[in-house]
């Protein structure tokens, strides 16, 4: 009735090999034996009888085996604490289409040192952790993780879906504390990173339109959202002929805040020390929304109002500018903005005059807000993610690695399919 002890032992051994064979989804190959050492499990794989092998390039079945190569080893995922290592002598097949090629070995690329399953697991973790942290977790070195991520990105860029793009946002991110810049392009509709360029110059960004998008895909672009001070507008006008330029709301407000700050500093320089006490610490008072002020802060603000200081004029200008975003009808929004620009010009505040000059030369792209209601705020989270990527990794001294990490974390690229 009950199986003998010997029978049970044999059955268990068969099971481990079968288990691994099934896990690796081997069809034309089989596991011949499994050896356990102190630091790993060695899995020996061989060809299964005369089953047909596939070409590594076109994946067609091939009748003829050309030769048998030297034994190679791939690291696989761990079984509990023990890493699996696969050993196999890859065949070269005679493919009717490609000629003599290395066979398609299931579960691993012939040139790689790790299986697809392990490299995918590493790649997934590298989206969350730094490359150093990922390497530590899998007992690899930093370079191997870098290689795996870069391969994954390469694969992902080649195999990702490319639906038509309608709204894009272009922005710059700094690398190394404002010394070097990268350009990032987002699909605002799907909230996904489309492209990263090494620098923010015209030459560096042009490939986005000529290579990444191409003529046909550029024609579907409807809105391009960007910063007024960037050099991108010229390229957009050149390549995305159907697109409406839209200057990003958050960037405009940022420039407005800079104008207030500059006005405050100007005033500070003119004040005598007794007056400085009153003005000190008003920076946040002026930038805050009025409904968020405490009664003490309101009191200080009203003191400033009585003075009719330049600061107060700046504060009123800021508040009334913000009304622009609420208008639904384009002509009303335009009327408001033109009026505002007039009063800003009469404010005797130099930084505001400069700001008006900037608005004037970008007017169309600012008024476009009323109809499009788009901003790069939709992808603000992704910009923060890029910042955190650059903070957590001190290994990104090269732009190449940083760009790969950005694609890897923000572009939702597909990973290679595991056999």
Binding positions for Zn ion, rule: CB under 5 A? 55, 57-58, 95, 97-98
Closest listed residue to residue 353, CA positions, set 382, 325, 314, 387? 314
Smaller CB separation from Zn ion, 94 or 212: 94
Q: Which two tokens stand for residue 370?
A: 């009323």
Residue nearest to Zn ion (CB): 55
Smaller CB separation from Zn ion, 97 or 332: 97
Helix axes 142-159 and 131-138, enclosed angle (nearest 10): 110
User: Rounded to the nearest whole angstrom, what is the least distance from the CB of residue 100 to Zn ion in the complex?
Assistant: 10
The secondary structure element, H or E, covering residue 167 is: strand 167-175
What is the distance between the alpha carbons of residues 57 and 53, in angstroms, rounded to a whole number? Answer: 12
User: Rounded to the nearest whole angstrom, what is the least distance from the CB of residue 56 to Zn ion in the complex?
Assistant: 7
User: Rounded to the nearest whole angstrom, what is the least distance from the CB of residue 62 to Zn ion in the complex?
Assistant: 7
Torsion, Cα 200 202 203 207, to 10 degrees, reads: 90
User: Rounded to the nearest whole angstrom, what is the least distance from the CB of residue 53 to Zn ion in the complex?
Assistant: 11
What is the distance between the alpha carbons of residues 193 and 410, in angstroms, rounded to a whole number? Answer: 6
Smaller CB separation from Zn ion, 100 or 241: 100
User: Rounded to the nearest whole angstrom, what is the least distance from the CB of residue 28 to Zn ion in the complex?
Assistant: 15
Smaller CB separation from Zn ion, 97 or 339: 97
Using CA atoms, how far residue 393 sits from 170, 256, 305, 401, in Å, is 24, 33, 48, 10
Closest listed residue to residue 259, CA positions, set 335, 334, 310, 225? 310
Smaller CB separation from Zn ion, 108 or 146: 108
- Other beta carbons within 10 Å of 339: 11
User: Rounded to the nearest whole angstrom, what is the least distance from the CB of residue 93 to Zn ion in the complex?
Assistant: 8
User: Rounded to the nearest whole angstrom, what is the least distance from the CB of residue 70 to Zn ion in the complex?
Assistant: 22
User: Rounded to the nearest whole angstrom, what is the least distance from the CB of residue 58 to Zn ion in the complex?
Assistant: 3
Smaller CB separation from Zn ion, 55 or 314: 55
Burial of 204 (0-12, 13-18, 19+ CB in 10 A): middle
Residue 281, classed as helix, strand or coil, is: coil
Smaller CB separation from Zn ion, 14 or 57: 57
Smaller CB separation from Zn ion, 104 or 227: 104
Closest listed residue to residue 332, CA positions, set 289, 358, 369? 369
What is the distance between the alpha carbons of residues 105 and 56, in angstroms, rounded to a whole number? Answer: 7
Which residue is listed with tokens 């081997």? 26
């Amino acid at each position: 009735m009950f199986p003998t002890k010997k029978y049970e032992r044999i059955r268990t051994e068969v099971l481990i090999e079968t288990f691994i064979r099934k896990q690796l989804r081997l069809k034309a190959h089989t596991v011949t034996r499994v050896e356990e050492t102190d630091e790993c499990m060695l899995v020996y794989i061989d060809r299964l009888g005369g089953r047909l092998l596939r070409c590594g390039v076109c994946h067609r079945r091939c009748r003829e085996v050309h030769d048998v190569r030297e034994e190679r080893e791939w690291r696989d995922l761990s079984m509990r604490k023990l890493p699996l290592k696969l050993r196999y002598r890859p065949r070269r097949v005679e493919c009717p289409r490609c000629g003599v090629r290395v066979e398609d070995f299931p579960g691993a690329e012939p040139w790689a040192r790790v299986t697809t399953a392990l490299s995918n697991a590493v790649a997934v973790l590298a989206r969350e952790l730094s490359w150093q942290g990922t390497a530590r977790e899998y007992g690899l070195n930093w370079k191997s993780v870098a290689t795996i991520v870069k391969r994954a990105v390469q694969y992902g860029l080649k195999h990702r879906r490319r639906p038509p793009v309608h709204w894009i946002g272009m922005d710059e991110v700094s690398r190394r504390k404002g010394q070097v810049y990268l350009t990032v392009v987002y699909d605002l509709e799907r909230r996904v990173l489309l492209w990263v360029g090494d620098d923010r110059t015209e030459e560096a960004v042009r490939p986005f339109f000529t290579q990444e998008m191409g003529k046909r895909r550029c024609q579907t672009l409807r809105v391009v959202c960007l910063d007024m001070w960037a050099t991108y507008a010229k390229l957009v006008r050149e390549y995305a002929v159907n697109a409406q330029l839209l200057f990003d709301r958050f960037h405009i407000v940022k420039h407005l805040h800079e104008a207030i700050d500059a006005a405050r500093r100007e005033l500070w320089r003119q004040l005598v020390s007794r007056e400085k006490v009153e003005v000190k610490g008003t920076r946040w008072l002026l930038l805050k929304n009025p409904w968020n002020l405490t009664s003490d802060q309101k009191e200080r603000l009203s003191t400033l109002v009585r003075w009719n200081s330049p600061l107060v004029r700046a504060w009123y200008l800021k508040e009334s500018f913000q009304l622009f975003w609420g208008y639904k009808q384009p002509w009303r929004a335009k009327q408001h903005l033109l009026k505002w620009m007039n009063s800003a010009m009469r404010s005797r505040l130099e930084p505001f005059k400069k700001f008006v000059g900037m608005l004037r030369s970008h007017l169309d792209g600012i008024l476009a807000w009323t109809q499009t209601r788009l901003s790069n705020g939709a992808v603000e989270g992704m910009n923060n993610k890029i910042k955190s990527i650059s903070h957590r990794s001190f290994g990104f001294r090269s732009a190449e690695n940083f760009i790969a990490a950005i694609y890897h974390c923000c572009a939702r690229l597909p990973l290679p399919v595991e056999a």
